[in-house]
Each structure stands twice: as C-alpha cells, then as structure tokens.
Amino acid sequence: MSQATSPTNPYEQLWKQQQHFFQGQHTKRVERRKQQLSLISKLLKDHEEKLFQAIFQDFGKSAFETYATELGFLHHEIGFAIQHLNRWTSRTSVPHGWVNFPGKSYIQPEPLGSALVIGAWNYPYQVSLLPAISAIAAGNTVVLKPSEMAPATAEAMKNMINSHFAAEEFHVVEGGVTETQQLVDLPWNTIFFTGSTRVGKEIYQRAAKNLTPVTLELGGKSPAFVLADANLKEAAKKIAWAKCLNAGQTCVAPDFVWVESSVKAAFIEELKVALGAYPQTYNSNNEHYVQLISERHTQRMADFILDSSVVFGGNIELQHRFVSPTLLHPVGWNDAVMQEEIFGPILPVLEFDDLNAALSQALQQPSPLACYIFSSRRERINLILNTLPFGGGCVNDCLMHLANPRLPFGGVGHSGSGRYHGEAGFLSFSHQKSIVEKSRLFDPPVRYPPYLPWKWKLLRRLLS
Ligand code: NAD
C-alpha cells in the first residue's frame, strides 16, 4: 500500500470502501460494466429536465446548447463504449518472437482500481461525467468531485448519481479547494484532473507523494491561423461560433486569431459580420449565448477590454455576468490579454507577414491544447501541422475534433498529459498487463549454464 493517510481525512472511509469493493472483483465483469453504463444513460434521460434547470441556474445555458455540448456527448460516448467494450477488454495477442519460443505473448487490459475524477466548471456535466464513463468502462470504482464554481450542476449530479449507485462504486463528493486537496491526498490508483495549468501542477505534486498516476486535462492559448488563401467568410463564421459557444468558456476555444497581413482588413470585416449574429446585450431569455461563470471572471474580461483597442463589441454588463463578443486589434504579445488563457468571448487579432517567422514565435509559447488552421494550400497546412506541438485541432474548422470518439483528446506539455474519449479514455483508466505464456512442450537449454560455445553463438544470432 502507498503512503499512510492522515486519520483525520474525512474521505478515507469512502476511499477504503471503494478499495474493498474493487478488490472484491465486483467491477470487472464486462456485462456488469455495460449495465452500469446503461444506467448512467438512463439517469441522464430521467433527470434531463433537472440537469437543464441546474445548468440554466449556473450559466443561463439553453437546453439546445446543453444537449449539443454536454448530454448528447455523454450519450454518444456511452453508446460507443458499450459497442466496443468486448474488443477493448479482450486480450490482444502480439508476435511472440524466437527468444520465447515455444508459447504465446499477449496484453491483458486491467482496471487500475479506484479512480478520483476532478472536474472543471465550464462544461460541468461533460468534463465530470465523461472521464467517469471511461473509468467505469475500464472497470474502476469512481469518486467524482465536480467544480464548486457551478454549484447547481454539481448538486444535480450528486443527486442523480448518489441515489442510484452504491458509494463504494461511484460517488459524487461536492467541495472546493480544501475538499479536493483532502481527496487528492488519499492513495487513489489514478487521478483524472480537468482544470487550469496552475492547479494541475499542484494536483500532480500532491499525487506524487503516493505515486498515483495523474491524467491532466488543462488549457492554454489555442491559436486560429487564417492564411491568405483561406475562405475568409467561412473561417470567420466558424471562429466566431467557436469563440461564442459557452461565451468562450471552452478549453479548446480559439484563444486568438493569427491572420496573414494581406487579408487582415478583409478578415476583420468578416469577423464583425459573424460576431454581429450573437447577442450584444444581456437578455435573460436568450437561448444563444450563456453568462460568464462569476462576476470576478466578468471583471477579468472587462480589464482585458479596457486595456486594449476594441474594433467590435466591448459591451460589459457586470451585474448580469455578460460580455458581448469582442474583437481586439491591434494586439501585441506583451499585452495583458496575451499573457494568459482568456476563457471568455474576447478575440484578439494578431497579424503576420511571414508564416515561418510566426511559427518561430509560436514555438516560444507553451504548447496549446488546440490549434486551428484555415487555408486551402496543402503545403502550408502541413507546415503548421508538422512544426507546432499542440493537443489536437482542425483544418478549416474549429472544435469539431472533439466530436469524434475515435480521436484521442488531450494536451501536450503545459496543456496536459494523457488523453481520453473513446478507447483512449478506456486505456487511460487501464493497466496493460503483459504476459508471456510458455508452452511446456520443451524448454530450450540455451539460457541455462554451462554457457557452452554453441549457446554463445546462438545467443548472439538470436539477439542481434
Ligand atoms: P481550476 O483549476 O480552477 O479548477 C478545477 C478543479 O480543481 C475544481 O474542481 C476545483 O475545485 C479544484 N481546485 C481549484 N483550486 C484547487 C487547489 N488549489 N487545490 C486543489 N484543487 C483545486 O479550473 P476551472 O476554473 O474549473 O476550469 C478552467 C480551466 O480548465 C481552463 O484553463 C480550461 O482550459 C481548463 N479546462 C480544460 C479542459 C480539457 O479537457 N483539457 C476542459 C475544461 C476546462
């Protein structure tokens, strides 16, 4: 067992219950895992109205957007996992090699044990329940700690899950910093964290004391490159949509636009048109635009805006936690808005003359979670794809790489480590147990002493 935990940790009993349940082998049967996944799907349907109400309370987010970006995602992921679970959980044979002859070699995926999942607030259902679904598909028990910043959705998840799952198998714990730290200090078999890079570092350090492996799903400043050969109207429409979705509170939102100088003026005009389709003032009945999570976060946006040259938007209604879609230009790398992830509906527009120089500049920045490339020239698209490190992205679109569960999702460097969605999520919560199974037909004497000359010769031939 890993490092002893403090007897005063209020979650130790829950952790012990989950360890005991896991060690009782209860979560391993594949048919049972499918039943538990189906139960989550059923609960999401039965509680749909309550989930819609809770997210409206936290964000003013519409049922349409909640279904498109959260609940629909979860149903899709569950269906995909159930469909593929037999294959994912099967042993995979690998070539055995002469060294081990006679016999066979295979990999057997195994659940890691008890998983702690820590969620962020921005897509509260998706970023909390999606990893939990992967963990359950892989045969783990789960404690889920959603973000306290979205309290209504955290409570709705707690009510939905805790009344239908035994605490030893899947349990939601509400809490903030202290509670999360207490949870992280326990020797889980794995921790899955979604949130900021700053807190991710802290979680990683605390988990290291128990050698608990950690998956980090973090953020960053994801660029959208718009090259002179792009379809500007289409690029503007897609970038505006991706920036306005969830009022920019999306980990993979295009943080800023990087446009080739020759088309800058035309592109800004297209962006103004595209952003003009979104609400410019607060309206409590609005179904197309959500509120910012807090007044503090709204004030952060206001500070960026007041500090910069606004070419479109800039309407701030602090009391309604509302900021209209806003374009900033010109913007320099030293401006405040370029020093941290924006996470709101503000879009700085930077320009470049020379793509290679822009890429050199990009290489000086921390690796982002996403990158978007708008261009029609293959060699220029490939140049960006092959030069920059980033988690994932799209060519001539934004965000849509998340919608394919066959694409592993995750960051690189400061935007995170490890990945999930589909099979990648299953693998994140699994150990790949490697087995050589020997045939007892005969036991070649080569490895045993005495080390005769013929064995020496054979050894060198086999291992060269
Ligand atoms: P956050 O890091 O403030 O909080 C995340 C979680 O950590 C919450 O549950 C919170 O209770 C807990 N927490 C906060 N401070 C803590 C501390 N000191 N010690 C222990 N736990 C602590 O992040 P956030 O504001 O909820 O989310 C925004 C960030 O998350 C953005 O950077 C965004 O890009 C990122 N994000 C990433 C993904 C992804 O999939 N990569 C998805 C959504 C959000």
How far is the C-alpha of 59 from the C-alpha of 286, rounded, in Å? Answer: 11
How far is the C-alpha of 40 from the C-alpha of 443, rounded, in Å? Answer: 50
Residue 6 pLDDT class (50, 70, 90 cuts): low
What does the pLDDT look like over 27-74, one tens digit per residue? 999 999 999 999 999 999 999 999 999 999 998 999 999 999 999 999
CA of 291 to the centre of ligand 1 (A): 18
Give domain 3-218+416-432's CATH architecture: 3-Layer(aba) Sandwich (3.40)
CA of 464 to the centre of ligand 1 (A): 49
Per-residue model confidence (pLDDT) at position 1: 42
Clarify whether 217 is annotated catalytic.
yes
CA of 402 to the centre of ligand 1 (A): 19
Tell me the C-alpha to C-alpha distance, in Å, between residue 23 and each of 112, 137, 172: 11, 17, 21
Determine whether the shortest distance from the Cβ of 120 to ligand 1 is under 6 A. Answer: yes
Substitution site in 59, 116, 122, 201 for ligand 1 pocket (most atoms within 8 Å of beta carbon): 122
Q: Under a CB-based contact definition with an 8 Å cutoff, are residues 215 and 192 in contact?
A: yes
Determine whether the shortest distance from the Cβ of 174 to ligand 1 is under 6 A. Answer: no
Q: Under a CB-based contact definition with an 8 Å cutoff, are residues 278 and 236 in contact?
A: no
Clarify whether 65 is annotated catalytic.
no
| Paired tokens of 398 | 């934004």
Residue recorded with tokens 């505006």: 240
| Paired tokens of 332 | 């320099």
Q: Point out the catalytic residue in the list 77, 217, 260, 423.
A: 217
Given a cut of 70, is residue 121 above it in pLDDT? yes
Substitution site in 251, 300, 369, 421 for ligand 1 pocket (most atoms within 8 Å of beta carbon): 251
Given a cut of 70, is residue 3 above it in pLDDT? no
Q: Point out the catalytic residue in the list 251, 371, 394, 398.
A: 251
Q: Under a CB-based contact definition with an 8 Å cutoff, are residues 275 and 288 in contact?
A: no
Does the domain at 223-405 match CATH 3.40.309.10? Answer given as yes
Q: What is the mean pLDDT of the chain?
A: 96
Overall pTM surpassing 0.85 (yes/no): yes
Given a cut of 80, is residue 2 above it in pLDDT? no
Domain boundaries, the chain: 3-218+416-432, 223-405
Q: What share of the chain has pLDDT > 70, as a percent? A: 98
Residue recorded with tokens 């997210």: 55
60: nearest Cα among 276, 277, 323, 285: 285
Given a cut of 70, is residue 4 above it in pLDDT? no
Q: Specify the DSSP element, H or E, that contains 363.
A: helix 355-363
Write the Ramachandran bin of 421: left for phi over 0, alpha for psi from -120 to 50, otherwise beta: left
Determine whether the shortest distance from the Cβ of 340 to ligand 1 is under 6 A. Answer: no
Q: What share of the chain has pLDDT > 90, as a percent? A: 93
